[in-house]
Amino acid sequence: MDLKNAVVLVTGAGSGIGAAIASHFGKLGSSLFLVDKEQDTLKNAGNFLISIGVKNFETFAADISQELDSKKMVNQAIKRFGKINIVIPCAGLIRDGLLLNLEKETKKVKSKLSFDDWQDVLNVNLNGTFLTVRDCAEKMAEGGWPGLIVPISSVNKAGQLGQLNYSSSKIAISLFPKVIIGEFLLKKILNIRVVGIAPGYTRTPMLEKMNQSVLESLLKTVHLNRLIEPIEIAKLIEHISSNEALNGTTVEITGGICHSHGVVK
Ligand code: NAP
């Protein structure tokens, strides 16, 4: 993949991991098509890119969980840049909560994970990623351009307490590369690789929305002993883009998580 001539489409590009990927690939000379929900978020992201000397980008406001928005997003990317090479669907959210919360004394249920919180997470993380991947893949397959799709899973695909909605969405996404690449082989779509990544705890605004004492205890299970920086994720994607042997799988980047920490004596 010649990154200087590559067109990179990133959703959730106004914040966190998506914004770091935009900066990194922008500095490498790629053309950027940057998508997020809010115009203001995109404006700030655009101003930042200009401040670091990255000028070859277009921003596009869309709700990636909406089928029509997804179609418009892809059409506009092709209209502007003529092709899409790398697709990184980073848009995502969390709405943490336990399935059931009991009153200590009476054992009566005082709250439960709401259907809205369940649906919001599945709509954006899973349905949105599906739409972005499907609609970009359609154009990339027809265009025959060298391509790479990078669905974003999470280390919490392993099943994080308080994140039934989020973990469910991320385990599903971790299967995208295997299933899609199998279908591409069947249909002789050989120009597109699909490699997922499953980051561990990464320093972004999303983590600020987590229960901070839970996060602190989770970090004790990380061998690296610190949060991952978004730039470290961007560099992994740069590597994936140049290594054709990586395909049909989801790669973890976690700093070394030991799930059984606290049990071993
Ligand atoms: P972030 O900083 O919150 O960025 C996510 C961006 O997606 C935000 O700008 C958000 O906009 C946008 N977004 C949300 N819903 C959208 C929609 N319907 N349409 C378009 N844009 C939408 O999060 P992040 O930490 O960078 O996460 C990026 C991806 O990495 C997510 O898929 C996340 O699950 C995954 N991940 C993160 C971590 C971590 O530790 N941070 C670990 C593993 C995986 P608003 O802010 O306006 O909602």
Cα angle 22, 28, 32 (rounded to 5 degrees) comes to 40
* Residue minimizing CA distance to atom 39 of ligand 1: 202
Report how far apart, in Å, the C-alpha atoms of 219 and of each of 33, 53, 108, 159 are.
34, 35, 32, 16
Measure 80 CA to ligand 1 centroid, in angstroms. 25
Measure 94 CA to ligand 1 centroid, in angstroms. 8
> pLDDT per residue over 135-193, tens digit each?
999 999 999 999 999 999 999 999 999 999 999 999 999 999 999 999 999 999 999 99
- Predicted structure pTM score: 0.96
pLDDT at 34 > cutoff 70? yes
151 CB under 6 A from ligand 1?
A: no
> pLDDT per residue over 75-104, tens digit each?
999 999 999 999 999 999 999 999 999 999
Q: Show the 3-state SS of 160-224.
A: CCCEHHHHHHHHHHHCHHHHHHHHHHHCCCCCEEEEEEEECCECCHHHHCCCHHHHHHHHCCECC
The predicted model gives 232-239 an average pLDDT of 98
Q: Show the 3-state SS of 125-156.
A: HHHHHHHHHHHHHHHHHHHCCCEEECCECCHH
Q: For residues 43 and 56, what is the distance between their CA atoms, to the nearest angstrom?
A: 14
Measure 256 CA to ligand 1 centroid, in angstroms. 22
Could you tell me the strand order of the sheet in which 249-253 lies?
57-61, 31-36, 7-11, 86-89, 147-149, 192-199, 249-253
pLDDT at 204 > cutoff 70? yes
**Residue 252 token pair:** 């973890």
Q: For residues 241 and 234, what is the distance between their CA atoms, to the nearest angstrom?
A: 11
More confident residue, 218 or 177: 177
| Ligand 1 atom at shortest distance from the alpha carbon of 228 | 40
| Ligand 1 atom at shortest distance from the alpha carbon of 14 | 9
pLDDT at 248 > cutoff 80? yes
Distance of CA 12 to the CA centre of its chain: 8
90 CB under 6 A from ligand 1?
A: yes
| Mean pLDDT estimate for the chain | 95
pLDDT recorded at residue 260: 58
Substitution site in 37, 63, 170 for ligand 1 pocket (most atoms within 8 Å of beta carbon): 37
Report how far apart, in Å, the C-alpha atoms of 167 and of each of 96, 101, 158 are.
10, 19, 7
199 CB under 6 A from ligand 1?
A: yes
Q: How confident is residue 256, by pLDDT bands cut at 50, 70 and 90? A: very high
pLDDT recorded at residue 146: 97
Domains defined for the chain, CATH in brackets: 3-253 (3.40.50.720)
Q: For residues 9 and 25, what is the distance between their CA atoms, to the nearest angstrom?
A: 10
